[in-house]
Amino acid sequence: MDELIDILDENGNYTGKSSLKSVAHKKGYFHPTVHIWLYTKKHQILLQKRALTKKVFPGLWDISVAGHIAAGENIENAAIREIAEEIGFTISQKELQKIGTRKHMINHPNGIIDNEFHHVFIAELTIPIKKLKIQKEEVDELKLFDLNTLINTKNLENVLLPQYHDYYSFVYYSILENL
């Protein structure tokens, strides 16, 4: 779905301009996104298998929930909205813990230029996975993995991306502090 998103400068500051997501990805405009990592008290991390129709990393086991922040949308509200849309889990703002903002730049083989600032959150998954309802356009499957998966990405196939090991380790240690 093409949506209107805010444009940022290379330092993550809002420029006051907006663009369609497709245009931002074509021209490489920086824009804000959310990453939400959901964990359980049993030291598990929820990962989603990206829908095979996704333009980048189809079929990859990836972040619990991620998405673009709509133009003018509050960052925390975007995180809450994305969680509800993608997996049908209702969460309050006080249950979200922001652990950082990450500058991310990648040029995909299909021509998409992803220049993003990820606002990264963690939160506890407080309901059984079988009660989650996936958004088929975004997600093929949900699965709980051992939390150690985040620090063992170099040995896995189609689960996360080993080149982002430092990022996953940061998330891992942030979650450990909350358990």
Task: For residue 37, count other CB atoms closer than 10 A to its CB.
Answer: 24
Q: What is the per-residue pLDDT across 41-98, written as a single tens digit (0 to 9) for each?
A: 999 999 999 999 998 999 999 999 999 999 999 999 999 999 999 999 999 999 999 9
Sketch out the chain's domains with CATH numbers.
4-178 (3.90.79.10)
pLDDT at 113: 96
User: What gap in Å lies between CA 122 and CA 37, rounded to an integer?
Assistant: 5
